[in-house]
Amino acid sequence: MQRRAPDPDDPTNLMKEDGVSVCSQMWIENFREPDRIVTNLTSYIRRFELWVLAYQKVYADETGTYIPRSAIQKSALEDLLALRNAVLDDRFKWGARLQFFIKSPRDKTDYESLSKRKIKAILTTTQPAPFQDKIVQEVLFMILEPIYESRFSQKSYAFRPGRNAHTVLRVIRRNFAGYLWYIKGDLSTVLDGMKVGLVINALMRDVRDKKVIDLVKLALVTPVITSRVDEGEKKKKTKRKYQKKRVLAEDEPKPDPYWLESFFGFAPEEAEKLPKWGHCGILSPLLANICLDELDRWMERKIKEFYRPSKSDVIWNSPEGEAEQGNTSWPEFVPTSGPDKTRKMDYVRYGGHILIGIRGPRADAATLRKQLIEFVDQRYMLKLDNESLPIEHITKGIMFLDHVLCRRVVYPTLRYTATGGKIISEKGVGTLLSVTASLKQCIKQFRKLNFLKGDRDPDPQPCFRMFHATQAHTNAQMNKFLLAMVEWYRYADNRKKIVNFCSYIIRGSLAKLYAAKYKLRSRAKVYKIGARNLGRPLKEKKGQSPDYQNLLRMGLVESIDGLLFTRMSLVPEADYTPFPGNWRPDHEKALIEYIRLDDPKTLEEQRSCIREQGLVSPQDYVSMLVWNYKRNAIAMDQLSLVKSGGTNIQNDQQLLSSSNHENYEDKTKEEEESEGLHVARI
């Protein structure tokens, strides 16, 4: 019988590899050759494994549950294949409202039987991004991200894997300690949108695939339909006094819990804005970094041009500028500027916000600001002025990511050995770069979340959103919020103070809530019954019962976790872990190490180095052991054979033969005894 040929239209026959392995191969190829111009990306768009992986990601975002590849229905795979073919044949359109190649698993609407009024409402009002658009965005993101991550500057930290605001703060603490003048710039208007031609030109510097360029261009050009809610409808909504609780569907994901929603509202100004360009979706942050990468490269060239080392300086006195003598974050370094001091600057960018540190006269900072204004005007058509790029001295304090960078004077004791071996101790003067959490910004964020009111004397306000929740659930939510705040202020010098303030506000807010809920009239009454950490039950004043601890020990009452960090001594110290100068995220380290080990030149260099030093590699040593065991029937390595000589080998063979003979005699005796014992048993 003839074997049946595989059906080319069957989607299961197209999944030859795992999508994750295909993505891994793309990352390895791009990090192996980061400077090459990519021309053929359509071959990756044809890979059905990437579409299945994108479907799994978007499905998890839509429903809140991960679906394995084996559990995807065949009808969904066929629709996914139709979407891929439509993209390849230029039949796909962004922002479709009625005609879909594949629908969301939550979308149960029958679009063929809709009335004209509903169709008009769908076509003219704001609708969430279609499910198929998200899948195409995910596929393009998986293809473009490894290409540009291998090319991006190490000075940008937003919207990139393995980098976050904490990375920026640690870089500032390590590298910016010697700078006196700072330029802080806000280019966040770029994140609101750019001209399509500028985005496409930035994209085509490294990618020359027509299919990908056309898809991104159409996503930027296609208009997004939006509509505003009428004032009459708003009034109608506010008139309702009672609103029923909405019951979630079976496949509908749960909304963010209260603590996570509150923490997201605590985001600093630099991390608050997320770019949304047309129908690009998750591609928008990547495209924003692609456009702003030219600014990063320009600043890197300026850093090299500005560097002027001085041999009389304690640090940064090497011509290369890479090898630092001394550590700028330790108090023995006193940052001063002058004609005989090293001139140096550094730069970081987080999203649309930049921070430049300069060691030198203020005139150099003013010259750099003028050049930066001209560059931004030419490249991004963005008009900046001196007010949008202020030059500030370190003594005034520079706000960045809700942390204040300032200089703290310290008086360390310097001990050194003088002539004659005498140890001398002297008081010195030094400065440290202090990265301090801003209490003013913290109060501002709490006021925005309706946790307090007032500036000079902040007064906690009850969080009535948790009114119908139990005391145990409310305390658990606030503990998670406090743990998130402790992690956010991890690298702040005043971590204990700022977290203790957050704990005071949250504890006072909960005390006022419980006083209103359980009719206890005052916070003092709440603390008297529920203790300082509100860990005792307030309902029916059970916390005052002397038998409460016994009932809790026997498991007869509900356990309530008290609030964390009610005292400053319970708050952990700031994290001062040293930050390496050539830091890279873990995934980039793994990629670079894999590429280096996969290179045959690396193996050859290691072998030549081992031969030159007269060493034996572990693999060769094991192979010698195995070969000598096979040849001589004895587990002896070649090194011992060479040292011992031939006489030892003969003696060893005699010993081996005699030991084998003795073993044989012992075995025969044991066999005879066992046979006799067996006969006796029979």
As beta bridge partners, residue 539 has none
Q: How far apart are CA 303 and CA 280, in angstroms?
A: 34
Q: Give the pLDDT score at 312.
A: 72
> Consecutive 10-residue runs of the chain (682 residues): their mean pLDDT?
56 85 94 91 94 94 88 92 93 89 86 84 85 95 96 94 94 88 91 89 93 94 75 48 59 73 84 89 94 95 90 68 48 53 90 92 94 93 90 93 88 77 78 89 90 82 87 91 94 95 94 92 89 85 64 67 92 91 91 93 88 84 86 58 49 46 47 44 40
Q: Give the pLDDT score at 3.
A: 52
Q: How far apart are CA 432 and CA 172, in angstroms?
A: 12
Mode of pairing for the β-strands spanning 423-427 and 353-359: unpaired
Q: Give the pLDDT score at 338.
A: 60
Asked if 159 and 286 count as a contact pair (C-beta separation under 8 A), the reply is yes
- For residues 507, 508, 513, 515, the Cα torsion angle rounded to the nearest 10 degrees is 110
Q: How far apart are CA 441 and CA 268, in angstroms?
A: 8
The three-state (H, E, C) secondary structure of 290-318, written as one string: HHHHHHHHHHHHHHHHHCECCCCCCCCCC
Q: Give the pLDDT score at 681.
A: 44
Q: How far apart are CA 358 and CA 347, in angstroms?
A: 9
Helices marked H in 354-426 — which ranges?
Answer: 362-380
Q: How far apart are CA 553 and CA 46, in angstroms?
A: 62
Domain boundaries, the chain: 8-151, 155-193+255-313+330-437, 440-570
| Total residue count of the chain as it appears in this document | 682
pTM: 0.82
Q: Give the pLDDT score at 141.
A: 96
Q: Give the pLDDT score at 660.
A: 46
Q: How far apart are CA 21 and CA 25, in angstroms?
A: 6
Asked if 425 and 413 count as a contact pair (C-beta separation under 8 A), the reply is yes
Check residue 142 and report its DSSP letter: H
Q: Give the pLDDT score at 568.
A: 92
Q: Is 92 helix (H, G, I), strand (E, B) or coil?
A: coil
Token pair in block for residue 170? 């640690």
Count of Cβ atoms closer than 10 Å to residue 616 Cβ: 14
Q: Is 426 helix (H, G, I), strand (E, B) or coil?
A: strand
Residue type for 249, please? A
